[in-house]
Amino acid sequence: MEPGTARQAETPLPKPSRIANLAAWTLSILLAFMFLFAGGAKLFNNPVMVQEFDKIGLGQWFRYFTGSCEVAGAIFVLIPRVRFAGALLICCVMVGATIANLTVLQVPAAAILTVVLLALALTLAWLRRPQRG
């Protein structure tokens, strides 16, 4: 037989453990709650958010963009098929938020929170990363 002509035995991918599933759902619900709240504050013109994005200096369109990304990420992490993408979207927003908090806004306490949320989103992304066969 020539190389590559023999059928390789297909091995099913292992299913995630119950603990991994519970952890993923717990993180998903926590992140969804946090980012629906945070994104909503940006989208519904919370005065603190308006002032914060004025300091950032990119315009209020960026507040709407950020809020939309946060709400989309919150919804996506609740849908198993797109949970990985939602976690990565939240990660991107938290990287930007951490940079803004440390450089432009100069609020280290807020940066600590954004790093914690980034770590939680990265954990969820790792738990729900695409499996290759």
Q: Is residue 27 in a domain?
A: yes
Range(s) of the domain holding residue 80: 18-127
pLDDT band at 130 (very low <50, low <70, confident <90, very high): confident
Q: Is residue 79 in a domain?
A: yes
Q: Is residue 112 in a domain?
A: yes
Q: Is residue 2 in a domain?
A: no
> Are the C-beta atoms of residues 49 and 11 closer than 8 Å to each other?
no
Number of compact structural domains in the chain: 1
Q: Torsions phi, psi of 119, nearest 5?
A: -65, -40
pTM confidence score: 0.84
Query: What pLDDT score does 26 carry?
Result: 95
Q: Is residue 4 in a domain?
A: no
End-to-end CA distance of the chain: 24
Task: Say if residue 11's pLDDT is above 60.
Answer: no
Q: Is residue 50 in a domain?
A: yes
Q: Is residue 83 in a domain?
A: yes
> Are the C-beta atoms of residues 93 and 121 closer than 8 Å to each other?
no
pLDDT, tens digit (0-9, with 9 covering 90-100), for 78-126: 999 999 999 999 999 999 999 999 999 999 999 999 999 999 999 999 9
Q: Torsions phi, psi of 114, nearest 5?
A: -65, -35
Query: What pLDDT score does 83 carry?
Result: 95
pLDDT, tens digit (0-9, with 9 covering 90-100), for 24-50: 999 999 999 999 999 999 999 999 999
Q: Is residue 65 in a domain?
A: yes
Q: CB-based burial of residue 114 (10 Å sphere; 0-12 exposed, 13-18 middle, 19+ buried)? A: buried
